[in-house]
Amino acid sequence: MLMFQDGRSFAQGACNYLYRPVSAGEATPRIIIEVQIEGVQAQAIVDTGGAYLVCDPQIADLLNLDPADALGTDRLNIRGVSVPGFIRRVFLTLLAREGQSIVVEVTAFVPHPEPYLKWDLPSFMGLTGCLERLRFAVDPVTDSFYFGTLADV
């Protein structure tokens, strides 16, 4: 596991990631890890250029995430399309293959795509409101994604 020079842990857990395009029409590979959103198993893309945990609408339906419980509404530009949705807090679990899994409360955007838009993407873990709430590192040699809490260990 990764350590700071003084011996403190940088990461509490590690998991393997997939490195592949997200959809059939893409050529650019993405880092994809297995997570749980409020206890529901999901795949999520690591997106350091994005905002929030963008929750796959099918996962949101399984969780009965109600817009009435939202912190607010917003529109996000997702792959060039402005998508309406709502903002709320959820618990995201990063599942460890090595070490220990961690649970982090993150800000999630729950898309409510227009009826003519087909949602065929997994969830995204953006930097703002999500990834910024933990430490993480990527080892492309072993396809490992390391993660840890921000608290001093």
Which residue ranges make up each domain of the chain? 13-112+126-148
> CA-CA distance, 37 to 104, in Å (whole number)?
10
> CA-CA distance, 145 to 15, in Å (whole number)?
5
pLDDT-derived band at 62 (thresholds 50, 70, 90) equals very high
Identify the residue with better confidence: 108 or 122.
Answer: 108
So what's the pLDDT on residue 153? 47
Supply the CATH classification number for the domain 13-112+126-148. Answer: 2.40.70.10
What is the value of pTM for the model shown? Answer: 0.90
> CA-CA distance, 126 to 53, in Å (whole number)?
6
Q: Considering just the CA atoms, what is the radius of gyration of the chain in Å? A: 16
> CA-CA distance, 102 to 21, in Å (whole number)?
26
